[in-house]
Amino acid sequence: MLQRIRDKTYLIKGSPNTLLYENHDRIFVIDPGSELDRGKLIMKEVAENFKNKKIEVLLTHSHSDHVAALATLSENITPYISEQEISSLVDIKTRRALTYSSSTPSNILYRFVDYAPEKFKSFKLGSEIEDIKTIDLRGHSLGHSGFLTSDGVLYTGDSFFGDKLISSVGVPYYLNYEDTIFSFKKLKEIINKDFVVVMAHGPVMKYKEALNILDLNIKLMEEIKEKVLNFSGLTAEEITYRLLKTANVNITESSLVLSGVTIRSILGYLTREGFMQTKVDEKGIVWVKKSH
């Protein structure tokens, strides 16, 4: 199950992928994952391969599919997370409200275990934890972080996605469109030929493949923005439904809510930039392209 990808960095495949980084007397676990059994597997791998080393956990963000496995790791572990993600890590109601942009009925929620650790350590985006650099990759969430190990493994979390996930969801989840574009540009600048790039939901990549998939994400978000701009007189939910229908993906209550977060963020951006405006009619708030 444990795959060595660099001198001190190992991978446990999954969705999300989990990194293990060896640092002297410690093992840093990056994004444990969503399943309780995942936490048990990590403990087993550490016990068998890194005896007597202290486990530290780094979280890219606070979404439940990256956090839940903490529940079955050692009780003595205190995870690291960026300052902006603290409130949604330690309080499940806050996490749900931030993720879904509302208090969403339980039948719409994805079936991830909700776990909130009582203790945590926070860091500023851009700081270092031992010899691991944290990278500000906000967009998917308020304080999403990437991590760069000293042996050149860049863990990008959910800052961009693999082609298989994109084709299955149609509209990937991003809380803030402008921050997402900021992070795409930053990744284009920092990814170099010496890195191995690991995303949470996708393949392990070298330089060219990483840039190709990043370009795919950039192109997709630009296309979605242009499609949104060309809808007129529709509610945000209607726009989301039509985009998912066009993408030929399975449409559920959950996918409408999650993709709708992305679409509302794009609509907000287009309105602030003067390309769209809102009106109220019998359907509710509808979005109209401004004529220039």
The model's pLDDT over 225-281, given as tens digits with 9 standing for 90+, comes to 999 999 999 999 999 999 999 999 999 988 999 999 999 999 999 999 999 999 999
Pairing status of strand 54-58 against strand 26-30: parallel
**C-alpha distances out from residue 67 to 4, 29, 182, Å:** 23, 11, 25
Give the distance from CA 244 to its chain's centroid. Answer: 20
Residues near 105 by Cβ (< 8 Å), separated by ≥ 6? Answer: none
pTM: 0.93
CA-CA distance, 188 to 186, in Å (whole number)?
5
Could you tell me where the DSSP H helices lie in 64-115? Answer: 64-67, 86-90, 92-100
| Structure confidence by residue, pLDDT tens digits, 99-146 | 776 666 665 655 556 666 778 899 999 999 999 999 999 999 999 999
DSSP element (H, E) containing 123: strand 121-123
CA-CA distance, 82 to 167, in Å (whole number)?
30
2-229: which CATH architecture? 4-Layer Sandwich (3.60)
CA-CA distance, 124 to 224, in Å (whole number)?
32
DSSP element (H, E) containing 276: strand 276-281
DSSP state of 68: G
Structural domain spans, the chain: 2-229
Confidence at 93, pLDDT banded by 50, 70, 90: confident
